[in-house]
Structure 1
Amino acid sequence: MGMIAEYLMVDEETLNKLMELDNEELTNEIFEIEDSEKFPCIDIDKIWDALHCFLTGVSAANPIEDDKLSEAIVGVHNFNIEDEDADFVTCTENEELEEIIKALENIDFENLSANFDPLILKKNKVYPNGIWQEDKEVLLKEFRTALDEILSFYKQALQTEHHIIVSIL
């Protein structure tokens, strides 16, 4: 199976409810919300760590605080931060989306692509292991697709005054 990054739009009431839950309850509730289809949800499958490295130069295992491109992939506020064994679940509040959207819109994808060497993924021990062996053009196409999906999703959340939950499970 493997770890997949999912992005879930939620309203204020749902976000507040989720913030009160411990790790296991939180994960279960996120799955229930996704299954209910009450709120929009997207996933970028297993490309999340490679995409983070493509945009920032480092693995998502080392999120960069206050870096809008890092936050676009892994979210801003970590749930259950005191629990080292907790699943990776974060939120980005609606008022934080505008700056993240601007950063995504300002990506010079062609320049990043021209300078991209898949071996940087190996050097940074990016998940999933061996992804750097994929064809560079295939990876770049996956990055572009994921970025387009995330940008569109974040714009929709901003417009509808929703928050984003990022879960990498």
Structure 2
Amino acid sequence: MMVDKSTLDSLIGLENDDLIESLEKLCEENEVYDIDKLWDGLHFILTGKSACQPIEGHRLSEAIVGVTLFNDEDADFITYIETEDLNHIVKALEKVDVIELRSNFDTSKLRESEIYPAIWDDNEKDSLCDELIQEYTNLLNFYKKALAKKANIVVSIY
């Protein structure tokens, strides 16, 4: 979700339940991009790792899981990306070679790594790859739009 600096500042420090309640209200009035259940698969094809193991300082990992946690690690997974970091993330996403992603896509690796959700069927390889590439493209476009507006991003996976 795109938010301005003052909105982001108002969210920082909220307890988990208050944060979720605020985010649900903000979703109704701010631009939102929903990767839905493909967040872990997209993280995996971009980084080779599950999003359950975020890679600190890795811009492609941060594109999916965000940069800074709002709460402690035991709470729901809600992070944010400030505009300065978003600039670096967009640059990293722009360098991704979609042809290489497609040629390296292997549903068996996603199954072996227990990537959520458990949909990585070999018979659906082409359509699943197409979906993930589309999510990558949509995410990049959303982030570019946010960057043009100098917005911050709130990432929530719960």
- TM-score relative to the length of structure 2: 0.95
How far does residue 119 in structure 1 lie from its aligned partner after superposition? 1.2
Unaligned runs of 5+ in 1: 1-7
Counterparts of 2:105 and 2:133 in 1: how far apart (Å)? Answer: 13
What amino acid does structure 2 have at the position aligned with 1:24?
Answer: D
CA RMSD of aligned residues (A): 1.1
Is 1:73 matched with 2:64?
Answer: yes
Look up the match of 1:168: 157
Is the CA contact 1:72–1:100 (under 8 Å) kept in the aligned structure 2? yes
Counterparts of 1:56 and 1:167 in 2: how far apart (Å)? Answer: 19
Alignment counterpart, residue 132 of structure 1, candidates 112, 120, 130: 120
Counterparts of 1:125 and 1:148 in 2: how far apart (Å)? Answer: 24
What amino acid does structure 1 have at the position aligned with 2:137?
Answer: D
Secondary structure of the residue aligned to 1:132 is coil
Look up the match of 2:20: 27
Task: Say which structure is richer in helix.
Answer: 2
Look up the match of 1:15: 8
Alignment counterpart, residue 86 of structure 2, candidates 82, 97, 102: 97
Look up the match of 1:5: none
Is 1:108 matched with 2:97?
Answer: yes
Q: Deviations over 1:87-120 (max 9, x none)?
A: 1100000011111111111111111211221111
Greater Cα shift, 144-153 or 131-140 = 131-140
How far does residue 20 in structure 1 lie from its aligned partner after superposition? 2.1
How many equivalent pairs are there?
Answer: 157
Is 1:55 matched with 2:43?
Answer: no
Counterparts of 1:161 and 1:30 in 2: how far apart (Å)? Answer: 19
Identity of paired residues, percent? 45
What amino acid does structure 1 have at the position aligned with 2:13?
Answer: E
Unaligned runs of 5+ in 2: none
**Structure 1 runs (4+) greater than 4 angstroms displaced:** none
Is 1:159 matched with 2:148?
Answer: yes
Is the CA contact 1:121–1:131 (under 8 Å) kept in the aligned structure 2? no
